[in-house]
């Protein structure tokens, strides 16, 4: 009989044994055993929901043109249709034990110690498949999926918790599913898409989707919920805060400009989670969501943490040049026409030879497009891109970016050093990088490796031991408990943190 316990040979288990704090993994991917899953869905809502699930799964996994996916098309057809390449061999399969582990809740629970984890948040690979379902079946299917996952993982809740998928086509739909997931099912983390695709109305009105489906496929934009949305999502964010729910997303940008190769999956893949999550996070920031809901906690996963630091730095830099007072440096009305004319008289003869301009004409000419390209000047808040976010100081940027957002960084991601570089990050802050192993996907061929790979970064001097502690414990703990102080009640984490001294500083958790 095969011996499945490898605790004695797991580097991650050995490292965990040396730590005086628990390890919280925010990104574990699991699969459902399809026959049991579909039986549950059918009993829950009928065969039509199973058919809907299968359609959404097929649509999500395959980019099709003329009824053929990429692998069925010839190179000429791919070029003609511009069919984006989807991944091949995207799951761990050679490691048979791990393949079974991601599908069997009891085995995953048993192997937590081998992985070096004390608590894992689970992202079922089809948890958000219902988001692509028809309007008629979307909510019923999402409810069935969430109910199934709540049921099969309930008895493992001291170490494992599944996320609830929440569709956000409208804020009301999101509120209804949020309340059901939390109040009825007892789920306590939600997973959303970082945006929803909507038709461009000016084009949709002229070319209705039922008559021009190919046009409708491309004539769309992405609503990121916080900025320029057709809907007011504040009631949804308010409900999230009221119920004490941390928000997570794996939001990618494959298919966007620059990520639409018809031949190379890696070209489309590298950096796409960071791009997608950046668009989502900036919409919440500039739309004032993090100002109006300072208790909201959002984690963007699989994109790394370095982009969180980069955007934070750029926000501070841009604000210093483009805040409402600094904008006066670029106000055409403040150009001194007399001084400009005098300078041109002294130094401009070579350039202006043959052109006789008075001072007003000269000013308009030199200002060029800055003076004349717009029919009118911006009015009020139109001038200030930071107005809705309520930014008056760089401390406001810190509070509404650094405090609100957490960034899932995978175990071997060396760019995490950027997040912890408090010398480069304004105000000496460290970005909230959180341990996100991503086990269950192709980038983790052995689930016992990630914690050890993260510890390698300490040994190589990429991050410090204190940063490692923040990464695998303090930051994830802060993410969940700042949203819901009772999040870890009754879990393995509750008993372990009782032996660790904590203190509150500036309303943020610091491990002493």
Tens digits of per-residue pLDDT, 280-319?
999 999 999 999 999 999 999 999 999 999 999 999 999 9
> How does residue 372 score in pLDDT terms, banded at 50, 70 and 90?
low
* 203-235 pLDDT tens trace: 999 999 889 988 888 899 999 999 999 999 999
* pLDDT tens per residue across span 310-342: 999 999 999 999 999 999 998 888 999 999 999
SS (H, E, C) 22-65: CCEEEEEEECCCHHHHHHHHHHHHCHHHHHHHHHHHHHHHCCEE
Residue 476: in which H helix or E strand, if any? helix 475-483
Angle at 42 between CA 37 and CA 44, to 5 degrees: 95
The reported pLDDT for the residue numbered 65 is 66
pLDDT > 80? residue 507: no
Q: What is the pLDDT of residue 498?
A: 67
With a cut of 70, say whether residue 104 has pLDDT above it: yes
Does the 7-31+93-117+146-321+390-511 domain belong in CATH 3.20.20.140?
A: yes
What is the pLDDT confidence band of residue 508, given thresholds at 50, 70 and 90? very low
Structure tokens at 96: 């048979």
Higher pLDDT, 53 or 368: 53
CB atoms within 10 A of CB 399: 18
DSSP codes, 350-383: HHHTT----HHHHHHHHHTHHHHSSSS---GGGG
Token digits of residue 18: 């040396």
Pairing state of beta strands 119-124 and 160-162?
parallel
| Distance, CA of 491 to CA of 159 (rounded, Å) | 6
Tell whether the model's pLDDT for residue 181 goes beyond 80. yes
Which of 124, 148, 165, 149 minimizes the C-alpha distance to 441? 124
For residue 124, pLDDT beyond 80: yes
pLDDT for 200 beyond 90: yes
Residue extent(s) of CATH 3.20.20.140 domains in the chain:
7-31+93-117+146-321+390-511
Confidence of residue 512 (pLDDT cuts 50, 70, 90): very low
User: Which tokens hold the place of 216?
Assistant: 């409708």
pLDDT of residue 331: 87
Task: Indicate if the pLDDT at residue 1 is higher than 60.
Answer: no
The answer to whether the CB of 453 falls within 8 A of the CB of 412 is: yes
Which carries the bigger pLDDT value, residue 506 or residue 204? 204
Nearest-5° Cα angle at 310, 306 to 311:
120
Q: When comparing pLDDT for 474 and 496, which is higher?
A: 474
Band (pLDDT 50/70/90 cuts) for residue 8 is: low
pLDDT (average), residues 132-151: 94
| Mean pLDDT of the 10-23 span | 95
Residue 69 has pLDDT above 90, yes or no: no
The mean of the pLDDT values for the chain is: 90
């Amino acid at each position: 009989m095969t011996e499945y316990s490898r605790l004695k040979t797991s580097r991650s288990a050995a490292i965990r044994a040396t730590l005086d704090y628990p390890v919280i993994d925010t990104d574990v991917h699991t699969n459902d055993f399809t026959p049991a899953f579909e039986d549950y869905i059918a009993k829950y809502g009928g065969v039509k929901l199973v058919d809907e699930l299968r359609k959404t799964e097929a649509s999500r996994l395959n980019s099709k043109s003329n009824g053929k996916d990429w692998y069925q098309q010839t190179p000429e057809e791919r070029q003609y249709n511009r069919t984006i390449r989807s991944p091949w061999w995207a799951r761990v399969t050679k490691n048979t034990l791990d393949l079974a582990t991601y599908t069997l809740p009891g085995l995953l629970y048993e192997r937590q110690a081998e992985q070096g984890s004390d608590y894992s948040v689970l992202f079922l690979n089809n948890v958000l498949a219902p988001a692509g379902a028809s309007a008629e079946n979307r909510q019923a299917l999402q409810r069935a999926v969430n109910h199934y996952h709540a049921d099969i993982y309930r008895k493992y809740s001291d170490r494992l918790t599944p996320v609830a998928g929440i569709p956000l086509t409208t804020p009301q739909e999101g509120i209804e599913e949020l309340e059901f997931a939390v109040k009825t099912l007892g789920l306590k983390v939600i997973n959303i898409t970082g945006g929803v695709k909507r038709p461009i109305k000016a084009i949709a009105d002229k070319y209705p989707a039922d008559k021009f489906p190919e046009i409708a496929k491309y004539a769309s934009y992405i609503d990121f919920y916080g900025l320029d949305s057709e809907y007011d999502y504040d009631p949804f964010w308010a409900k999230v805060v009221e119920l004490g729910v941390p928000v997570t997303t794996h939001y990618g940008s494959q298919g966007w400009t620059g990520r639409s190769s018809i031949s190379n999956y890696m070209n489309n893949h590298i950096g796409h989670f960071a791009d997608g999550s950046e668009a989502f996070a900036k919409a919440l920031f500039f739309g004032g969501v993090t100002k109006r809901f300072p208790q909201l906690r959002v984690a963007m996963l699989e994109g790394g943490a370095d982009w969180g630091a980069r955007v934070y730095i750029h926000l501070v830099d841009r604000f210093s040049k483009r805040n409402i007072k600094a904008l006066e440096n670029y106000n055409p009305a403040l150009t001194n026409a007399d001084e400009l004319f005098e300078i041109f008289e002294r130094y401009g003869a070579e350039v202006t030879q043959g052109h006789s301009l008075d001072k007003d004409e000269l000013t308009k000419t030199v200002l060029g497009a800055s003076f004349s390209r717009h029919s009118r000047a911006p009015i009020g808040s139109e001038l200030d891109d930071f107005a809705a976010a309520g930014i008056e100081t760089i401390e406001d940027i810190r509070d509404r970016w650094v405090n609100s957002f957490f960034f899932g960084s995978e175990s071997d991601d060396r760019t995490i050093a950027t997040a912890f570089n408090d010398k480069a990050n304004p105000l000496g802050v460290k970005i909230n990088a959180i341990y996100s192993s991503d086990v269950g996907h192709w980038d983790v061929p052995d689930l016992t490796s990630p914690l050890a790979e993260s510890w390698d970064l300490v040994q190589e001097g990429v991050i410090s031991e204190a940063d490692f502690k923040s990464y695998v414990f303090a930051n994830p703990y802060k993410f969940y408990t700042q949203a819901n102080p009772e999040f870890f009640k009754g879990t393995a984490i509750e008993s372990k943190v009782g032996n660790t001294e904590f203190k509150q500083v500036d309303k943020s958790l610091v491990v002493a």
